[in-house]
Each structure stands twice: as structure tokens, then as C-alpha cells.
Structure 1
Amino acid sequence: MKKKTIATLLAFGLAFSMIGCGAKTETAEPAAEAVEETAEESAETAEETADAAEEDTTAEETADAAEEDTTAEETADAAEEDATAEETDEETENADTEDAADAATGEVMSHDDYIAADVDSEVTIETYVQAMQGWWENEGVGNATFYTQDEDGAYFLYNMPCSKEEYDKLTKGTKIKVTGYKSEWEGEVEITDAKFEIEDGSFEAEPLDVTALLADDSLIDHQNEYVSFKDMVVEPSKDADGNEVAFLYNYDGSGSQGDDLYFNVSADGKTYTFTVESYLCDKDSDVYKAVEALNVGDTVDMEGFLYWYQGVNPHITSVTVK
């Protein structure tokens, strides 16, 4: 607007100058009007130019502001990414801490100390996997049962939490450190609610012949060990219809192929019930098929684990007919 005012004054000045130089009044007035119109047009053009410049400045400022917003947004995104990365690192660190907390802890006991420990007390042992009794998930948590042993005795790890990847690593002979609770069920002493970690070392037990100890109270000292039985005779069992048979599907004959196998064998005039645990040795295993092929009166050698259920109830893994 300042540019327009100056242009107008200049126009009027020019007009008065023309009058002062001797021009006629009637000629000077149109000329002055023309000059004034020209000045006004120039002023308007100048104003439009100024407005356009002002609009350019505003547009530039808007562009700058947009650029600043973009920069601010990028900065915010970068900050958010940094925060996410920091949270991820923290979660990883926490997971590592939790894994460490879940590992077996406590002072390692000897087998004698384990035997002497009270039921329901926390125990920590080092042992070696001898056999695995299946793997399954319970409410999203992997579990498996293990027959384990060291040079001094055996330990039965019942439903020990482990992932499928961990389970696949726990092959025969693998050394593990285990912390859990000593428990008892129907005479079977086991470790429950266990945590474990794999250690260096390997051991595979040789079967101990306990045939002569079957009627002896000391047999329980070998509970859960890998053992063998020699020259035992297959005795009849009665199925659900009262027929004498060499074996049963389930303890009462109510099952079918794929269920646990139960069969009676004797030594020194006493009869015992042995089992092929289907989770340990399924229907496609050699021992399962061997028991299905037994006849009453057969003499057999066997190997397995000295499991206990209201008395000795070995889980057999091998049967050889003599």
C-alpha cells in the first residue's frame, strides 16, 4: 500500500508541473487525469506484484512448515524405532534372565542323599537319560517322562516340562542337572515339577540282573534302574471273558492293540506282573510284538526299568523267548 501512495503523489506532482509550464487549464486536467490513472494502474500493478510476492513468501513459509513437520515426523518415527529397539533389547534381556532363573539350581545331591531326603522336599541331582516316555503338550506346555540313572542309582522324572526341541536333544546317555520335588505315588518315588539343564558328559547303564532279588526286600533299592530278568516262565492271565491268555491289553483285558500290555511271569514259584508301557514302547516296537506272540509256558529273558506300582511292576523294553 505504501508503493501505491507514492505513485499517486508522483502523478499529481507531474500534473501540477505541466500546469506551471504554461499549459492550458482544460488541457492540463485531462492530462493530469491520464497521469493519475496511469499512476493508479502502476500502483495497482505494484500492489499485485507485492501481493504475489507476499503469497510466494507465504507459500514458501508453508513449504518450510511442511518440511519441518516432515522432519519432526521423521524424528518422531526415529525416536519410536529407538524406543522399540530398546524395548526389544530389554525383553531379550528379561527372557535371558527368566531362562537363567528357570535353570536347575541348588547343591547337587548324591544318590544316597536323594534317597534320604523327605518326600515333597526340593532336590537337585545330576543324572543321565536312559529312555524317554513320550512327549506331549499340556495347556501349551511340553512335557515328557524320563528314566534316568547314574553310576550310583536311578531317578524317574515324571512329566518334566521341556520343549520339543529340548526333548529331541535328550537322547540316551545325555547328562542333565535337575531340580525338582521328590514325590511318591503308589510306591513309585519320582521327581516332579522339575527344571533341568543339559551338561557335558555321557553315561549308558548296563542292565543289572535282579532275578534273584525279586522276592527280597532289597529289590526296592534298585527302583527305576535298568535291570534284567533271566529264565522266567510266562504264566496265564485271565481276559474279560475268563479265558486264560498269555497277555492282556490293559491290566483287566478291557483294552485293545495300542494300549499297555500286561503279562504274568514267575521265578522260584512266585508270580509277578510285568508291563510293556505303550508310551515307552508302542505297538510297532519289537518288544510289544514279542509279548503279543508269547504263549503260556514260554521261558523268557527280559530287560527293562524297575518301575513300582503297589509293588514291583517293571516296564519291559526287551523280551527274548528261549
Structure 2
Amino acid sequence: MTSVTVRVPAKVNLQLSVGPPRDDGYHDLVNVFHAVSLFDEVTASDDLAARPGDAPAVVSGGCSVTVAVEGESADQVPLDGGNLAVRAALALAARAGRPPGVRLLIRKTIPVAGGMAGGSADAAAALVACDALWGLGLAREDLMDIAADLGSDVPFALLGCTAVGTGRGERLVPVEVTGRFHWVFALAEGGLSTAKVYSECDRMREANGEQVGWSQAGETLMAALAAGDAEALGGALVNDLQPAALMLCRPLARTLEAGREQGALGALVSGSGPTCAFLAGSADQAAALAMALEVAGVCRSVVTAYGPVPGAAIIPARP
């Protein structure tokens, strides 16, 4: 049996500015992605033997993909063609002349439907793992093209670190960052549908007669990243989807307020939510903030992380 394991990070959106709906149903975005040290792992294997309890394989064009999931909210991850990692493997197989198949084992740490691009991360990891397993040796640019067809956040999961995404978020320009930033993530009960959050954002804007424009926080945010200035970065965090996420999940407002009360330098809903992200001034301050949030009981659980970190990468086989 041959297998390849890839580790891939979660992301937090430092700025998410959302334009009006386009004719294709998407929105133009200005999206500052930041990869953080909260990882999923995806193992691609050529061992296709059925196991007890396996979901049926997804077959397309002669390629068979079987997926299993362990870890954080594993029971909430689809095991069929709705799984983005499965779609990634099939898309790569089509490009590669359709190898016979692959088994994917996803080990989850990134929250499911939590606004941290866990599904997109798994798709990116599947691309890298299957490319190596099948000996394709595709250029990273080719993988990025496939990733962009799969979803707006998938290319960034390949790239990692920090980058500005435009278009749907798939056109990326890396950003230079000085030092390390320390984060606390408050995980909520359940998840939020990205599509529903965008729809609610559009509804609220229409109801309020809001004129859609781009945030002016970008220059301050970029300067803070370049200088490694956590306090300035905390004041520049922006998420246009946050009002919609708060409308759909009212308890998040209390979570954000609790983090601010406990000294977070910045607080916002991550992406489409419902995970709340808090910026701290140091690793020690992040640990203290995480403990305070746990004591306050305003979320399901709390994790700490730092960023930026690299994107999807192969890790050595376990002994």
C-alpha cells in the first residue's frame, strides 16, 4: 500500500469586503486571507479494499473515490459527492487520465461549517496528496487552476501564509508579514451555511438601502501586517458578512463582546461564521483570553493558534 499525507491550515479573514451580487450569483470580494496553525490532515491511499461501515465509493469516469472522516465534528462531513475533497480528487483524476481510484482519510481539527474554510482546506490537501500519490508532478499553477474551479477559498489553502484575494477570492497576491500574530478562536454550536449568510447580507443591504462600497481599512491593515503591529491590526479587522452572521446566529454578539471585555485587541466573526476570532498581543495573552472565554461559557470550545503558516504540504509518513 502507498499513501501520502498532507497537512493543511485553516484561515481567518482579516478583511472581507463584499461587493453586490454578480450576474453569476457570486460576489466580487476584497479578501485578506491569513493562514493559522489549526490543521486538518488528508491521507490519500491506493488501498481501495472496502472496510466495515464504509460509505459507497463515488465513481466518475472510471475513477473511484472513497472517503472516511475522523475528529472534530466528523459526523457532519458528507461522505459522498458533496465532499469537496472527493470532488478535488475526481477533478485531478480527470486531468491525469483517470487513475483507478483513491481512498481519502480526513482527520478534522478545523471546525466544520465554521467560517475557517475547512472543506476548502481538505480539497486543497486532496489535490496535493493525490498529485503525489499518482506521481503526476503537476506544477503548482496547474493545481491552483483546478482549485479555483472547486471553490473560492481552495486556492488560498494551497498557498497559505497571508494573501489578498480578489474576484471571488481566487485571484491571490501574497502579502509580506513581519513576525507572528496570536489568535483565539471561539467555536460555536452548529454551523452556518455560507450561501445563507451571503443571502442574508444581500437582504439586509437591500432592506437598509445600503450603498455597497469597499472598506477603507485596507491600507491600515496592510501597514499593520508589514510592521508586525498586533494592536493596529486588531483595530483594522473588517468583515462585511458579520452583521448577517449575527442576524442568523444571535449568540455570537455576546461571544464577541466577551472577548473584547477580556482584552482582545480585535474581534470579528471569521468568514461566514459562526467561529469568532480574537487577536491577542502574545501567546501568553492568547492563553489567558482563551481561559476567560471558557469560564464565561459563551461558546462550545476555544482553541489558540498563530499565523501566518504555509499552505498545504506533504508531511512524513507516520512510523
TM-score category (smaller protein): under 0.3
Tell me which of the two structures has the higher relative contact order, counting C-alpha pairs closer than 8 angstroms and 6 or more residues apart.
2
Q: TM-score, normalised by structure 1?
A: 0.22
Q: TM-score, normalised by structure 2?
A: 0.22
